[in-house]
Structure 1
Amino acid sequence: MKATKSQKIIFWTSTIIIFLFEGVMPALTSQTELAKEGIKHLGYPEYFGNILVVFKILGVLVLVIPQIPKRLKEWAYAGFVFDFLFASISHWVVDRFGFNTFFPLIILAILMVSYIYYHKLNNTQSAL
């Protein structure tokens, strides 16, 4: 069975959104005072924010480069799931319910679309 054009569009659209939110934006804004204050506000040390940005950039590169082995892609998806869940929990514990509590869950839903369509595309390609 051949992968449909709509499956490819859904996969790449959702994956590019993750790439922009988790790779490009953190790379461009991680050293701003607002970002540093955000990490500090949640009770994390500044170095944690720097490490997180490095792993986010590496993770999105793993997701968007087709030649990366599938097993590594699975780990990148898992890492982002933990990132979004713990971001949501951190905001909930510190700030209670608000937009910052739910926004990571919205991005998690987009990640899940990417993950589902990643497997749909790979299952159709491996069936050939």
Structure 2
Amino acid sequence: MKKNNIIYWTTTSLFSVMMLLSASMYFTSPEVQAGFIKMGFHDAFRIELGLAKIIGALVLMIPFFKGSIKEWAYAGFGITLISASILHASIGDPVSKIAAPIIFLGILAASHIFWKKRLQATA
């Protein structure tokens, strides 16, 4: 049980911090704003995605949130990361920009697996 808790909190914290840092860049970085324009997105999408990342990271980190809401956060992040990788590949970005979302998808998957193991252990 202790090992599962350590892995869960490590992966969840790492992932959530990355999402919070990413979201902050959406609001503060002119380079990120230019990247969204390059990809053909309206500025409102950048703001919406930044807010969704903040909310999702908080849902994953705060133990008060349980059940379906946490599942939706995991699913939303999964869709976002897969979409980001596909988008970066489609516009010819370097492999590092294509691979980064997939690496974080792996961390997200580990967080989800160990969240489920923790739930089973307490049931």
What's the TM-score, normalizing by structure 2?
0.94
Query: 2:100 matched to which residue of 1?
Result: 103
Cα offsets for 1:85-109 (capped at 9, x unmatched) = 0000100100155110111000000
Q: 1:115 aligns with which of 112, 115, 120?
A: 112
In structure 2, the partner of 1:7 is 4
Deviation at 1:12, TM superposition (A): 0.4
Identity, in percent, stands at 32
Counterpart AA for 2:31: L
Look up the SS of the partner of 2:109 in the other structure: helix
1:59 corresponds to which residue?
56
Quote the residue 2:34 is aligned against.
Answer: 37
Q: Is the 8 A contact 2:12 2:61 kept in 1?
A: yes
Give TM-score scaled by structure 1 length.
0.90
Higher RCO structure (Cα 8 Å, ≥6 apart): 1
- Give distance in 1, aligned partners of 2:79 and 2:23: 19
The separation in 1 between residues aligned to 2:36 and 2:99, in whole angstroms, is: 17
Q: Is the counterpart of residue 18 in structure 1 residue 15 in structure 2?
A: yes
What is the aligned length? 122
Structure 1 residues not aligned, in runs of 5+ = none
Moved over 3 A (4+): none
Mark the structure with the bigger radius of gyration. Answer: 1
Contact 2:15 2:107 in 1 (8 A): yes
Unaligned runs of 5+ in 2: none
